[in-house]
Chains A and B, each alone.
Chain A
């Protein structure tokens, strides 16, 4: 398990993390989402042992990860700007990784030659961004990490390769119990793979839940009221957003669908329907309360 406890990190007066708390349970896929500058990459750099927190703790299996080679050997990471030595080939980088990660799997490396179909002996710097990303996945997954940390992992990959890479990772999760922590803006993609989601904004984690809990705890209601009879909703309902087109009113409400529907039915709507929210909608409406509402632009 990875635990980030009340971590604060400032860079020359700018607070990048302001008491962030994250718990990544073992054997699942944890999606870290948030707007630009929310602190996702900073959290990941703490978890991979690059940054030392100003205060708080970053624990892997109960031990601080910073300056802890034993725990760092369990972690492999692909940052959004993966580094390779300037003239290195994939084979060079393989030898480099193999020297550091005792679980490096050469058989897998050979097997992945067919999956990724990259020129093993060509300098990586001459490859396209997508090919470099594939090389990063090839090498990192051969390290057989217990914790795979990915920062914007599939940026630059074509759709086929995205699916291929996710498929490989999901098989590692199911067969080997690998824990994947992934930060991404592609919420549609995360929705398909994540068990848990943490939403960050301004250096803090706003909420952290399993995806099913998250989706069960917020609901989109569409209601049609009689003309001139739009009711005032009860105060105990946490309405995150309201909009209407004609007589059709749409409410984003925090709570279980059955509970919220029950409370609205007393106003006898002409029509009332509860719809599930996508992760993207949850992200937008949850952050709406943090002054991150989608602003309507009038041309």
Chain B
């Protein structure tokens, strides 16, 4: 064949069949092993069905099993498997010999990129196709096939494959070292939430009430967290049982699949600009070197710096709950400089990185000072933040024992809770500095108070306060102690203790009590509505006491209690929950009803009251009760 002919034959193409075939044949143990491992699930199903000829499996059960797999197993499996496939198809970029061979071939970078991407996607989808086909054949043979559920599952798998392989491919283009690829991939999945945790953790050292609660800010930047949080399944409500399951949030996965496509496009651009000689380098682009160097310094400062400070604190500042700025800065700067040098050594592939590093070290120290200063001085006002009632859609205030909530339909209660928050914030220096003296001075208890806001703009904000509540301060209604006492003991609180929500449906009632050995016995109450009516009657007559703010969590629980199990209808299905109620001697209607129905005897009640020391003083020891305004 002449060269002119060969030149014509090698016209530009975006796909090379030989390379595709070679990828699949080279890495068949990877996708073959995955297919084999995945096939264990339908194989188990098959054996179970063969062993139980009378088994009654419905299409609903099949859909339920598929959706459970889609929601719980597929995200983690796909995320992990994607990086293996990416390491297989992009591995040639990390070795100068292999990159030499591939880039000498008469295929341009776009052709290599498209072919390798399609190879990787095929290697990811083949195991799913095998397992899915096996499962569908079983379902068809036994007659419980559900086409809609299968199609939904196919979409979910395809979307997640696109997302995670796109992300892994993007990471593959940024680095020139095969061991750096999984590290980078892990960081891309978790860096944003990790930073949120670290910054919150640093804030916690200086600021009252501010700390990590959830990944509300950074969750969208972590695909795996976002999918696990937003992708689930529900069950259609029907009378006398549960209806067909359905997927919730498939559109979120579809959006992330689009992000995966965008990442693939970016990876293609990087692939075209990437230099072959970067094989073996930690980062494949020069502009990424400072990002890697200072990024490592930042992460090191926030993690190792925190660890170092904790060691220092245990030795020198163990009496302090809140940190001093200078020691924290020193620890952060030391750890940051360490991270800077480690990153430099990885970049230079040499231990000799100290010469000329002074400006970089100075930058790290200044950066550590900026971070410490910004957080400790509360530049962004996180510690001082109290919302305006008009901004709030819903607020929860609670501790280990009780939770209060309010929304715009209860403006007075909403204002009451926000006022408590404001009082706590105004007393932040008292909380930060003086509480150890307070603890020594008189009767007080520790309360961990959580405040969770859902704002009208969709944001959620949480605060957590480790407060000392004293009897002296509780007598003053202008302090947070006094305000909390009012909230805990007011009539509406007592009613809320026993009343299930308006949209709730009582499902069952259990009675429990502690026997002489301290063990709990739990019995269902058949006449649940009658007992619940008695509870409501006690609440209406003021027989149900409020919560005792000054009681330690471990003391004074009634030995007799009830558990009301109920369900509420939410937009995605029923939520099952329960209320636990302590039964006090003052709750006469309830006790009478329980005695009448034979669940307790008068002798038992008398014995419990004696053991609890409640016979004379009622449910709450008199010396511990402080009424507002007294």
Contact = CB atoms under 8 A, between A and B. Distances in A.
B108 interface: yes
A69 B10 CA distance: 7
B501 interface: no
B108 A67 contact: yes
Nearest to A105: B1
4 residue pairs, one from A and one from B, having the closest CB atoms: A99-B18, A73-B10, A102-B9, A73-B106
A222 B96 CA distance: 49
Interface in A49-105: 49-52, 67-75, 77, 79, 81-83, 85, 87, 95-96, 98-103, 105
Contacts of B600: none
A50 B3 CA distance: 21
Interface stretch (B97-105, B142-150, B230-238, B616-624): B97-105
Contacts of A49: 103-104
Given A74-B3, A74-B7, A100-B19, 16 more contacts: A45-B100, A51-B276, A69-B10, A69-B106, A69-B107, A72-B104, A72-B106, A73-B10, A79-B100, A83-B97, A83-B98, A83-B101, A85-B26, A95-B18, A99-B18, A102-B9
Contacts of A71: 7
Contact of B277 (A51, A69, A77): A51
Nearest to B96: A81
A161 B48 CA distance: 65
Given A51-B277, A102-B5, A103-B6, A69 B108 contact: yes
29 contacts: A45-B100, A45-B276, A48-B103, A48-B104, A49-B103, A49-B104, A50-B100, A67-B108, A70-B7, A70-B10, A72-B105, A72-B107, A73-B7, A74-B3, A82-B97, A82-B101, A83-B98, A83-B101, A96-B18, A96-B22, A98-B18, A99-B16, A99-B19, A100-B106, A101-B6, A101-B106, A102-B1, A103-B1, A103-B6
A222 B95 CA distance: 52
Nearest to B286: A12
Contacts of B21: 99
Contacts of B108: 67-69
Interface string B1-36: 101011101111100111101100010000000000
Contacts of A51: 275-277
Interface string B92-126: 00011111110111111101000000000000000
Interface of A: 11, 45, 48-52, 67-75, 77, 79, 81-83, 85, 87, 95-96, 98-103, 105, 144, 146
Contact of B12 (A11, A45, A70, A100): A70
B97 A74 contact: no
Contacts of A87: 26
B6 A73 contact: yes
A52 B271 CA distance: 13
A101 B97 CA distance: 20
Main secondary structure of the interface of A (DSSP, over half): loop
B89 to A, nearest CB: 13
A95 B19 CA distance: 10
Nearest to B22: A96
Interface string B264-276: 0000000000011
B1 A69 contact: no
A50 B276 contact: yes
A81 B21 CA distance: 25
Contacts of A102: 1, 5-6, 9-10
Contacts of A105: 1
A77 B103 CA distance: 11
Q: Which of B97, B101, B111 has the most CB of A within 10 A?
A: B101
A291 to B, nearest CB: 27
Contacts of A74: 3, 6-7
Q: Which of B5, B12, B277 has the most CB of A within 10 A?
A: B277
A50 B5 CA distance: 24
B91 to A, nearest CB: 10
B99 A99 contact: no
Contacts of A79: 97, 100
Contact of A50 (B1, B10, B16, B104): B104
Given A69-B10, A69-B108, A100-B16, A83 B100 contact: yes
Main secondary structure of the interface of B (DSSP, over half): helix
Q: Which of B10, B18, B106 has the most CB of A within 10 A?
A: B106
B533 to A, nearest CB: 77
A4 B21 CA distance: 35
Nearest to B26: A85
A72 B111 CA distance: 14
Contacts of B16: 99-100
B461 to A, nearest CB: 47
Nearest to A151: B100
B18 A100 contact: yes
Contacts of A73: 6-7, 9-10, 106
Contacts of A101: 6, 106
B102 to A, nearest CB: 9
Given A69-B12, A70-B10, A100-B16, A52 B275 contact: yes
Contacts of A144: 1, 6
A272 to B, nearest CB: 51
Nearest to A100: B105
Contact of A70 (B98, B100, B106): B106
A13 to B, nearest CB: 11
A25 B13 CA distance: 30
B620 to A, nearest CB: 75
A103 B106 CA distance: 12
A84 B493 CA distance: 77
Contacts of A98: 18
Given A51-B275, A69-B106, A99-B17, A81 B7 contact: no
A183 to B, nearest CB: 15
A168 to B, nearest CB: 18
Contacts of A99: 16-19, 21-22
Contacts of A96: 18, 22
B276 to A, nearest CB: 5
Contacts of B6: 73-74, 101-103, 144
Contacts of B7: 70-71, 73-74
Interface in B331-386: none
A99 B11 CA distance: 13
Contacts of B104: 48-50, 72, 75, 77
Contacts of B100: 45, 48, 50, 79, 81, 83
A238 B12 CA distance: 52
Interface in B205-236: none
A184 to B, nearest CB: 18
Contacts of A146: 3
Interface in B255-304: 275-277
Contacts of A70: 7, 10-12, 106
Given A73-B6, A74-B3, A50 B106 contact: no
A251 B550 CA distance: 109
A98 B1 CA distance: 13
A98 B108 CA distance: 17
Nearest to A16: B277
Nearest to A81: B97
A96 B13 CA distance: 17
A50 B95 CA distance: 13
Contact of B103 (A11, A50, A68): A50
A100 to B, nearest CB: 5
Interface string B580-608: 00000000000000000000000000000
B39 to A, nearest CB: 25
A173 to B, nearest CB: 14
Nearest to A54: B275
A98 B22 CA distance: 12
A81 B95 CA distance: 12
A58 B470 CA distance: 83
A69 B107 CA distance: 5
A50 B100 CA distance: 6
Interface in B429-482: none
